[in-house]
Amino acid sequence: MRVIYTLWLRQIKRFFRAKSRIVGAIGQPLLFLVALGYGIGSVYARAGQGSYIEFLVPGIMAQTVLFSAMFYGAMIMFDKQFGFLKETLVAPVSRFKIMFGGALGGATTATLQGTLVFVISLFLGFRPAHWALVPLAIVVLGLLAIAIASFSSGIGSFVQDMQGFQAINQFIVFPLYFLSGALYPLDHVPTWLRIIAECNPMSYAVDAMRYILIGQSHFGLLRDLIILVVCVILMLAFGAYRFRHIEA
C-alpha cells in the first residue's frame, strides 16, 4: 500500500507544482464549452432538442478526463527518457504496483480536472438534475480515468518520443472522443456512425455521465457501468502486462 500511495502522491505533487498544467486544465474545456455550447447551442435549440450546454457538459467532463488521463502516458515516457523509471524498475516491488500507483495518481488528477469542468459549467448556467447524484458522476469519471491512465501507461512504456505519442493521440484518442456521442445525441445519427459509437467504450462513459447528470441515456445506466468496469479491468491488465515487459 505504501508503495502505491507514494507513487500516487508523486503524481499529485507534480500536478500541483506544474502551474501551466492547471491553467491548461481549465482553459481547454472552457473553450469547448463556450465555443460549442453557444456556437452550436442556438441551432440545437431551434431543432427542438432543448439546451445544448446541458447536453454538452457531461461529454466535456468525460473529454477532459480522457485527454488528461491520456497525457499521463507522456509522463511515463518522460520518466523513461529522464531515467526515473529505472529507479522504480530495479526496486523490489512488483511492476503492477508501480504501474498502478502512478496510474492512480494520473487518474486522480484527471478526475479532479473533470470535476473542475463541472464547477465551471455551473457558472455557465448548467444545473444537474439531481444534486445527490453528482458524487456518482465523479465515480464514473474516476473509473474512466483509471481505464485511460492504465492504457496510456502501457502506451507510454514503449513509445519513444513525443512525436510517437502525438500520433497515438491522432489515431486513438480523437476517434474515441469524436465518435463517442460526447458532442451529439446518438439517437438520430446514421446507422454506421451509431454502430461505431456502440463499439467505442468512451460512448458508455459519456452516456453514464449524461444519465446521472441530466437524466438522458441512450444505452441505459446498467449497460454503461458494466462496460466501463470491464474496460477498467482490461486496461489494468494491459498496463500491467506492458510494464512487466519493460527492459531498460
> Which residues of this chain interact with other proteins, rule CB under 8 A?
2-3, 5-7, 10, 13-14, 17-18, 79-93, 160-161, 247-248
**Minimal distance, residue 168 CB to other proteins, in Å:** 18
All 3 cell numbers of residue 96?
Answer: 503492477
Looking at beta carbons only, is 54 or 79 nearer to other proteins? 79
CB of 92 to other proteins, least distance (A): 4
Task: Name the residue nearer to other proteins (CB basis): 60 or 77.
Answer: 77
Residue closer to other proteins by CB (options 8, 219) is: 8
All 3 cell numbers of residue 152?
A: 496510456
- Of 90 and 199, CB closest to other proteins: 90
Residues 67 and 178: their CA atoms lie apart, in Å, by 12
68-74-80-83 Cα dihedral, nearest 10 degrees: -70
* Residue keyed to cell 459519456: 206
For residue 219, the minimal CB distance to other proteins (Å) is 41
The span from the CA of 206 to the CA of 185, in Å, is 11
42 or 160, CB closer to other proteins? Answer: 160
Q: Give residues with Cβ within 8 angstroms of 235, minimum separation 6.
A: 146, 147, 148, 150, 151, 154
Question: Least separation, in Å, of the C-beta of 163 and other proteins?
Answer: 11
Cβ 24 to other proteins, closest distance in Å? 16
- Show the DSSP H helices in the chain as ranges: 2-17, 19-39, 41-46, 52-81, 84-89, 95-123, 134-156, 162-168, 174-178, 191-199, 201-214, 221-244
